[in-house]
Amino acid sequence: SNRAVVLSPANSKFLERNGYLKWQDGDLVGALDATKKALEINPNRINALMNLGGIYKELGNSEEALRSTLKCIEINPHNPDALVNLSSIYKELGSLDKALTAILQALALKPNNSVAVIILSSIHKALGNHDQALEVIVEYLELKPDDPDALINLGGIYKDLGNLDQALASTLKSLALKPDNP
């Protein structure tokens, strides 16, 4: 990817991919640089905008993450992945009503998105709607009973509801499926 960028430094697709790979490798500064260059060449590259939002979020700059994600949605309002990202950013910023609206829009476009279902459950939990959080995650686990992330989410809900035996059982099942999960 680095060689491709050297050979064709004005190719926004190569720069976007290079930024993504650097991001995945933990080089956030290099990822930010490559992704910004891709967007200078083509400001409407959806994936580069989504990546930029994720990079900024990981850098702790939620405002820039929000700006990039909103631009992505402005270009394509029916992008379920961008709406999931938007919901996650709004949740992090404490705008739970906006987070809920965005995640419901994402699920309307892509109903079986496991990340979106888990975020929806966590938003309900953050809003204090533990029964709704439980309902969402239990319904999802009926379809995918071995999703370790959903099971750990379920454990947290049971803990908040004071049902420690079920919280422990759910957490242990999650750890059995994904032993390296911190």
Sorted by sequence, the CB contacts under 8 Å of residue 57 that are 6+ apart come out as 65, 85, 88, 89, 92
pLDDT at 182: 82
Provide the pLDDT for residue 112. 81
Which parts of the chain register pLDDT below 70? none
pLDDT of residue 168: 96
| Alpha carbons 144 and 177: distance in angstroms, whole number | 13
For the chain, the average pLDDT equals 94
pLDDT digits (tens, 9 = 90+) for 12-37: 999 999 999 999 999 999 999 999 99
What's residue 181's pLDDT?
82
pLDDT digits (tens, 9 = 90+) for 157-180: 999 999 999 999 999 999 999 999
pTM here?
0.83
DSSP secondary structure of the chain: -HHHHHH-TT-HHHHHHHHHHHHHTT-HHHHHHHHHHHHHH-TT-HHHHHHHHHHHHHTT-HHHHHHHHHHHHHH-TT-HHHHHHHHHHHHHHT-HHHHHHHHHHHHHHSTT-HHHHHHHHHHHHHTT-HHHHHHHHHHHHHH-TT-HHHHHHHHHHHHHTT-HHHHHHHHHHHHHH-TT--
Judge contact between 124 and 88, C-beta under 8 A. Answer: no
Looking at residue 68, its pLDDT comes to 96
104 touches 86 (CB < 8 A): no
Whole-number Å distance between alpha carbons of 97 and 91: 9
The position carrying tokens 């803990």 is 159
